Structure 1
Amino acid sequence: MLDDLDAVLEEEDQPAKSDSPRLSPRGRGGRSAIALFLTLLLFGLLAGGGWYGYTKVKGLFTDEDYSGPGGAEAIVQIKTGQSATEIGTMLFGQKVVASPDAFVAAAKENARSKNIQAGWYKLKVEMKASDALTLLLDPKSRWVTKVTLPEGLTYQQTFQALSKATKIPVAAFEKAGKNPVGLGIDASWFTRSDGKKIDKTDIEGFLYPATYELSPKADATEVLKTIVANFNTQMEQMEFAATVRKSRGGVTPYEALIVASIAQAEALKDVDMAKVSRVIYNRAYGDFDCKCLGLDSTVNYWLRITGKGSKASEHLTNADLHNPKNPYNTHDKKGLPPGPIGNPGQVAIKGAMNPTNNFPYYYFISVDTAGTMAYGKTGEDHAKNVLIACQNGIPLC
């Protein structure tokens, strides 16, 4: 471009040839106009290049950022352990912030930025980075499905509660729940010392009671994996398996989990969990004559999961209590039932791990509506406690 301009200017300085009598000042002015145009064009390019260079240099010292509050909704996921740079890059990729550096700069200026929790959030496209950070620190911006699973629910009741909270069909949870090992339960759990067969598709007992914050985009399998992962964490923290193997004289962790589920169903007060567990161990593994548990709760569990409906103890018939086809009939069948009869909480689990020592009882019963438990060593002791319960309004007589 500079060479072309020089050529034009040199031509302007040359005298007119003698054989060009028609050359006039007007023609000369045309070439001057071209030169002027090229000169202005050159300066324009130089100015534009200077501005481009300025903006590039400016970018080295300031972070590109949006100024407004944002527009359309943007759903983003923050994962556990992500750094500010990783979050900023993700937000930039979803057009929430103008640059990763803008978010990093905002995070550096806010001491609370380290408190961002993992989960899904509702933000907006083209937000000011500091505004995006503020929303990530606001619990109300988290997009989660929260569900509380109380102690003692059966797997069916758990699936119903999960379905209600997540809008995922119960059938999807039933299908996913048929593979406990695939959900994260170690296969070593499915062992027993009494030789009874275990149904390895039975997820009962492994759905730990707690309040869960679930991903709104999770399917049934992912939801159950979250719950099972918490079960595993809780068992590890309580050292459940190691304690049972060391102190329960050959009883396996799975059997102890069954005991915990029964204690959860039978004892209304925390103080009785370890005592009821001891009575169950005494009956199943001690010198109790029939080595049967004789519990209505196990009979009712089978009635419930087979769709027949549970009954109050006073309404259970002899046919119900002594049904030979009921695998959870503990009135006639020795030892523990085939599996847990619900999902026990921490107190019941600890009670099964460490049942009350020096507690030589074989019977227990709630003797009032508050759930006060009485214990007996003999059938005669138990009969007296039943009478007390009847006098206190418990409909057993």
Structure 2
Amino acid sequence: MPPLSARIRVDSRRTGEHGLSRSEHLPDRERTNGEDRPAGPGKARITFWVITTILGLMILIAGGTYLYIWNGLRPTGAGDAVQVELKKGSSPFQFAEALEENGIIRNAFLFKYYLRYKDEGPRFQAGMYELKPGMDKQAIIAKLNAGETVKAPTVRFTIPEGFTVQQIADTLAKDGIVDKSAFLALADKDQAWPDTDASKNIPKNAKLRHRLEGYLFPETYELPKDSKPDAIIDRMLQELDRKLDGLPENWEDQLAANDVDFNGMLTVASLVEREVVVDEERPIVAGIIFNRLKKGMPLQIDATVQYLLDKQKERLMQSDLQVESPYNTYKVKGLPPGPIASPSLKSIEAALFPKKTDYYYYVTKKDGSHEHLFAETLKQHNENIAKSNQTAKQ
């Protein structure tokens, strides 16, 4: 029998040649540099769990982000309506912060980016809005785009045609809209009104009784409550510009044709306004005024003397005609320094497009019709006066 050591060597060789090694009997381990390490299937399990964990975190982050955005953009709880102002010149993003402060939206930051994402904001209109907590974001945006603002409290007043600056001040003061003295002070002040055009034609003339006389257009106005006198005056001056814009395009050419400037034309219109009631007669009377001016005759218009009196008289006395004033057309030839009242558009049109006649005189019929009798000569005029007086006695 071979020695024990020999048998061990033989067995060892056989094992190496035909049998399995120790490591081959352990499939879940590998030997590297004399150390064991995980085999392939174990490594795959680790990779799987890493990927699963990362995906889970991504899902959690995405879900959390979605919930954050959803919650930040959903309507707030119900509540009472509040008024929020979108100021002129402020950005929609600044307005978003005001909405959050007033509880209309939950998150101004998210709302800003929602507006940017939807390309909303540029059409928002300035003003005061009444908004309710609980409104959907699209309803808020639609309201801002439509300019559905809360109408501010307003005051409404009417200035009749032919009113003087004094009468306008009295009317506004009586209704508690302005302080009379403050209004008249502005109407007399030598200042520019940059938002208006017609007012630039007012001459720098110390003889003007009221600088803005005739330039405050007679109309029904609606302005914000508590408007200051300067805002009211500015609006009335703008209305004159607006009415002039509606005239025929060649109206300014008529100034040269009639040999007057703008202030002179408006002065003629104011004379017509105070002298004439029947619309068809306005261009005729305007033509008579221009006829007398061209001939160098005094206008002798009662309305210019009435303008100087504290109270209107039904009939002027001879002493009234002697008052010393550049507005007294019985004593001074030519036009007064400026208008004597606020003329209507019809009177302005008559002053621009007067009717060409040979008349130089007119007298009011005393039959209650407010019509006039016209004459070419003084003799015919005196006959018309007699005829009018005879009618009054019947």
TM-score, normalized by length of structure 1?
A: 0.66
CA offsets 1:280-338 (integer angstroms, 9 cap, x no match):
1111x2225xx2111111101011xxxx312012xx211111223x3321112111112
Q: Give the aligned partner of residue 214 of structure 2.
A: 205
Query: Which of 157, 160, 179 is equivalent to 2:189?
Result: 179
Q: Summarize the alignment of residues 40-79 of structure 1 with structure 2, pairs less than 5 Å apart.
A: 53-58=65-70, 64-65=74-75, 68=78, 70-71=80-81, 74=83, 76=85
Aligned residues of 1:183 and 1:224 also touching (Cα < 8 A): no
CA offsets 1:164-213 (integer angstroms, 9 cap, x no match):
45632112211222236423455751359xxx865396110110112222
User: What 5-or-longer segments of structure 1 have no aligned partner?
Assistant: 1-45, 109-113
In 2, Cα distance between equivalents of 1:213 and 1:384: 49
Q: Give the aligned partner of residue 318 of structure 2.
A: 318
In 1, Cα distance between equivalents of 2:273 and 2:93: 45
- Describe the SS at the equivalent of 2:192: helix
Q: Give the aligned partner of residue 343 of structure 2.
A: 344
- Describe the SS at the equivalent of 1:331: coil
Q: Summarize the alignment of residues 105-184 of structure 1 with structure 2, pairs less than 5 Å apart.
A: 123=130, 126=133, 128=135, 130=139, 133=143, 141-165=151-175, 167-179=177-189, 181-184=191-194
Q: Which has the larger radius of gyration?
A: 2
2:361 maps to 1:363: yes
Q: 1:212 to 1:378 in 2, by over 3 A?
A: same
2:298 maps to 1:292: yes
Letter in 2 for 1:297: A
Letter in 1 for 2:308: W
Letter in 2 for 1:177: A
Aligned residues of 1:209 and 1:343 also touching (Cα < 8 A): yes
Letter in 2 for 1:334: K
* 1:246 to partner: Cα distance: 3.4
Q: Give the aligned partner of residue 331 of structure 1.
A: 330
Q: 1:198 to 1:321 in 2, by over 3 A?
A: closer
Query: Which of 266, 275, 278 is equivalent to 2:275?
Result: 266
Aligned residues of 2:306 and 2:313 also touching (Cα < 8 A): yes
- Describe the SS at the equivalent of 2:338: coil
CA offsets 1:24-59 (integer angstroms, 9 cap, x no match):
xxxxxxxxxxxxxxxxxxxxxx99988863343326
* 1:226 to partner: Cα distance: 1.4
- Describe the SS at the equivalent of 2:156: strand
Q: Summarize the alignment of residues 13-28 of structure 1 with structure 2, pairs less than 5 Å apart.
A: none
Q: 1:126 to 1:259 in 2, by over 3 A?
A: farther
In 1, Cα distance between equivalents of 2:87 and 2:364: 49
In 2, Cα distance between equivalents of 1:201 and 1:228: 14
In 2, Cα distance between equivalents of 1:257 and 1:66: 60
Count of residues in Structure 1 that have an aligned counterpart in Structure 2: 324
Query: Which of 242, 252, 258 is equivalent to 2:252?
Result: 242
Identity %: 23
Letter in 1 for 2:369: A
* 1:245 to partner: Cα distance: 3.1
Q: Summarize the alignment of residues 198-237 of structure 1 with structure 2, pairs less than 5 Å apart.
A: 199=208, 202-237=211-246
Letter in 2 for 1:311: K
In 1, Cα distance between equivalents of 2:97 and 2:157: 28
In 2, Cα distance between equivalents of 1:156 and 1:287: 33
Query: Which of 162, 186, 189 is equivalent to 2:201?
Result: 189
Q: 1:376 to 1:200 in 2, by over 3 A?
A: closer
In 2, Cα distance between equivalents of 1:87 and 1:381: 76
CA offsets 1:245-296 (integer angstroms, 9 cap, x no match):
33213x111111100000000110111111111111111x2225xx211111
TM-score, normalized by length of structure 2?
A: 0.67
